[in-house]
Copies of this chain bind each other. A is one copy, B any other.
C-alpha cells in the first residue's frame, strides 16, 4: 500500500541510495535524474516513513509533555495557555508535541521512562514542579534535555533550566494592595504543600503582612486544590471559621473564581463586603463578576520561551538564559475594594 524508497527505485531503475539522495537534494545526483526521481515520487505520493527516519537519524523532532495524574486544573486556562505557547513555538521550529496522561502518581515515572528511555522524544517539558520532584531527579540522572515551568521550592536546589514568575513578589503586591485598602484580616488559600511554588506564595504573604505591620495568623491560611471547586470549599471553610476576614488571596485565579462564588453564596458582595484576589490573570479573570484583581503572568509567552529554550538545549546550544524569573504585575479590577469599616483617611 504505502510507497517506499524501494518502490521508487524499482520503478525508476535507480538504487535506493540514489533515490534517497535525490530527494534529500545531495549534489552527487545528476540534475536530470533528480528531476525525474522527484517527479516519480510526486506521482506516487511518496511520503517518507517518519518512524524509520527517527530510528536511523536518532532524533525525533518531538517534545514530550506528560499530564500529571492530579492536574485537575489541566483544562483550566493556565495549562491550556501554556500548551498553546508550547505547540506554537514547537511548530515554528518543526517539532511536534507528544502528550501522555498519567493515571496515577505511580504510573507517572514509568511514562517518563518510556518516552525518554525509549527515545520517543528529544526533550521534555515539565510543569508544576513538586517538592523533591522525582521527575526532575530522573531526567537529571538521564542527562536528557528538559525544561520546567516553575523552579524548585526555596529550600531545594533549582539546578535545571526553568522559567518562573516571581510569585513571592507577586503575593507581596497583593497584600500591599489589600492593606492599602484598609484590610487587616486577610486569608490565604494555598495549593497543597508538595507543590513547589506554595512556599514562595506563603513567604510573599508573610513578608507582605510584615511590611504592612500586620500579624501573621497561621489559621488564616488553608490549602486546597488549584481548581474552582478547591477555592470554593476552602472559602466556605475559611469564612466559617473566621467570619471577620475581609479579604482573601487565592494562589491562582481558578481558586479565586471559586472563592467568589462561595462568598456570594454567603450573601457577600465581592469587592465591597469582601475583597478577593487571584494570581495568573487567566482570560476568564477579566470577564468574571466582578472582574478579578490579580497578578499577571504571561503564560502563553512562558510556553513559547520554555520551548525555545528546550530546543536550544536539544541542539546542543547554550541558551542565552536558562533560569528566568519573570516580574509580576498587579492588575487591579473590581473584586478588590476598600475594607468595609475602613475610614481613616482616603480620598474617594
Q: Which residues of A contact B (CB under 8 A)?
A: 2, 45, 47-55, 60, 62, 67, 74-77, 79-81, 83-84, 87-88, 90-92, 96-103, 113-115, 117-120, 228, 257-258, 260-261, 283-284, 287-290, 300
Contacts and interface: CB of A to CB of B under 8 A. Distances in A.
Contact of A55 (B51, B79, B97): B51
Contacts of A74: 80, 84
28 contacts: A2-B117, A45-B117, A47-B113, A47-B114, A47-B117, A49-B118, A49-B119, A50-B115, A50-B118, A53-B118, A62-B98, A75-B77, A75-B300, A79-B80, A80-B80, A83-B99, A87-B101, A90-B101, A91-B101, A96-B98, A96-B99, A97-B100, A97-B101, A99-B99, A228-B287, A284-B287, A289-B289, A289-B290
Contacts of A258: 287
Contacts of A83: 75, 99
Contact of A284 (B45, B120, B284): B284
Contacts of A113: 47
| Identical chains bound together, number | 2
Given A87-B99, A257-B287, 10 more contacts: A45-B117, A49-B118, A51-B119, A53-B118, A79-B80, A96-B99, A98-B98, A99-B99, A260-B287, A287-B288
| Pairs A-B, 6 closest by C-beta atoms | A289-B289, A47-B117, A50-B118, A91-B101, A75-B80, A87-B101
Contacts of A98: 62, 96-99
A45 B117 CA distance: 9
A50 B122 CA distance: 13
A66 to B, nearest CB: 9
B88 A101 contact: yes
A283 to B, nearest CB: 7
A52 B55 contact: yes
Contacts of A90: 101
A192 to B, nearest CB: 20
A89 to B, nearest CB: 9
B287 A261 contact: yes
A2 B119 contact: yes
Contacts of A115: 50
A77 B103 CA distance: 21
A131 to B, nearest CB: 25
A102 B96 contact: no
A23 to B, nearest CB: 13
Contacts of A114: 47, 50
